[in-house]
Structure 1
Amino acid sequence: MLFAAASGRQYYSLRETFAPIRDRMLFIAENGTLVMHQDKELYSCTMDKAQVHRIIMEARQVAGAHLVVCGKESAYVETSDEVALEEISKYYRRCEKVDDLLAVNDEFIKVAICHFDGTERHVYPVLEKQFGEECQVVVSGQIWLDLMNIEASKGKAIEYLQETIGFTYEQTMSFGDYFNDIEMLKVSYHSYAMENAHEQVKGFARFNAPSNEESGVLQIIRRLLDSPVSLSIA
């Protein structure tokens, strides 16, 4: 079995979380915009710098929004809000505080926005209207929204791995709970929605898993190991 952590989290954060086995697995980080193995880049889907600048300027106009510009080398923030910085640090281990996000020089893969009153209501309508035809605009959690290359998704990253490593749709298992998981569920025959997943996301999964609070992913994987079949797990 090939195991991958497919997450909206930063690669450096995932690498720390899975430190004991990080050289034995894949990392599909930043919602599929960066795929890493043994600290080597296998795949990336970057954003145009001018496009990122337009997103920054528009998002700055949304009251209560805290921006994270994600590059291959680091994440970058300009907020000084301590509560926001604490939340951001949960997902971005390598994060640099800057005076002006427009002055950052990196290869950009994502712009993430945190809004404590909810991104689905307060951020998505504004940015989807402005950038929905040129970017992936995805609500990735109750207080998080991500903007990426129009071609980027966890599903696209998994399709790349299916083609290059050589496993099939029928041999792929994935677990999801929010809108940034939909494309991943679509490219996996063994697609599981968590019990606590967003109701709209559940319709894209073939199977159900117990909630995150019950370690639902581990329950399903342990059940699989008790009755092994040929699968690649993403």
Structure 2
Amino acid sequence: MIKLIITDLDGSFLNNQGDYDRQLFAQVYELMLKQGVHFAACTGKQCDRVEELFGQYSEKIWIVGDSATTIKFNGEFIYRSFINNALGQRIIKTLEHASSDHVIIACTANGAIIKSNLPDRLKAKVRGSYANIIEVNDLHTITDDFIKITVYDETGQCPQTRTHLNDYEKEVYIVVSEATWIDITDFDVHKGNTINKLQQLLGVTYHETMAFGDGLNDVELLEQAQYSFAMRNAFEETKAVANFITGYNDDNAVMTTIEQMLALQAK
């Protein structure tokens, strides 16, 4: 019996415009509620941004946000992990030396911090994932610990940038989710391990979990669920670990699959 449904957002639950069919979700949510199924959004997006997206449902769903460094429910943080400031500053310095073309997003408990001299188009891109943004002249003035450090490179050079981070592999978790994004979190903190914490919290097993994903950072997520679905638009590596393949994110495939599975479960 399915008791927990987890979905990645970008490329999975959300369409290519970064939105979703709210009327359909209202129907799906009622189905989940009726069967006592928990719903979690598992994403690199800031929790505040997820709350914006889900509106009236934001306090009714589990949010595994900020690249799985955070679990939030009903407006309260249940779990958070941090990279200590000194280590984070070393990583930022390495990233600055690696390239001057990418965007470094340094996330702390206060918000997502970016440099104030970014072009407007790049600030707009950051706002797609972060609701609470702080602009500074110098990232090295940050004194708080980091929830995560993210790189956005519109030229798609993140796989190359990743090679500059090899020396940090025993100190932090690093994933190139796609050619334009790198996420850096505390050591061994990724979607799989954080979802395992959520499963323990809810008393839900692997056999009672359904998950959806498309990116390379969703591999560990899908490994936590017996009912693991890769999107048709997913990376081949992600499809390889999934037990099932569903439709495209642009066709509401996550929600229609949930409807179909819960209809079967209700019989």
Instruction: Bin the TM-score by the shorter chain.
Output: over 0.9
Distance 1:100 1:159 in 2: 36
CA RMSD for the aligned pairs? 1.6
Moved over 2 A (4+): 119-122
**Corresponding residue of 1:24:** 60
Length-normalised TM-score, structure 1: 0.93
**Corresponding residue of 2:250:** 213
Q: Where in structure 2 are there 5+ consecutive unaligned residues? A: 1-36
What amino acid is the match of 1:66?
V
**Corresponding residue of 1:121:** 159
User: 1:18-57 maps to which residues of 2 (within 5 A)?
Assistant: 18-57=54-93
Q: Equivalent of 1:94, from 120, 132, 143?
A: 132
Deviation of the 1:154 alpha carbon: 1.2
2:217 matches 1:162: no
Distance 2:177 2:161 in 1: 12
Structure with the bigger RCO (C-alpha within 8 Å, sep 6+) is 2
Length-normalised TM-score, structure 2: 0.82
Deviation of the 1:142 alpha carbon: 3.3
Distance 1:166 1:221 in 2: 21
**Corresponding residue of 2:10:** none
User: Any idea what SS the aligned residue of 1:196 has?
Assistant: coil
- Alpha-carbon spacing, 1:163–1:36, altered in 2? closer, same or farther (3 Å): same
Q: Where in structure 1 are there 5+ consecutive unaligned residues? A: 230-234
**Corresponding residue of 2:106:** 69
Distance 1:108 1:3 in 2: 27
**Corresponding residue of 2:95:** 59
**Corresponding residue of 2:15:** none
Distance 1:214 1:133 in 2: 40
Deviation of the 1:161 alpha carbon: 1.4
CA contact (8 A) 1:119 1:145 kept: no
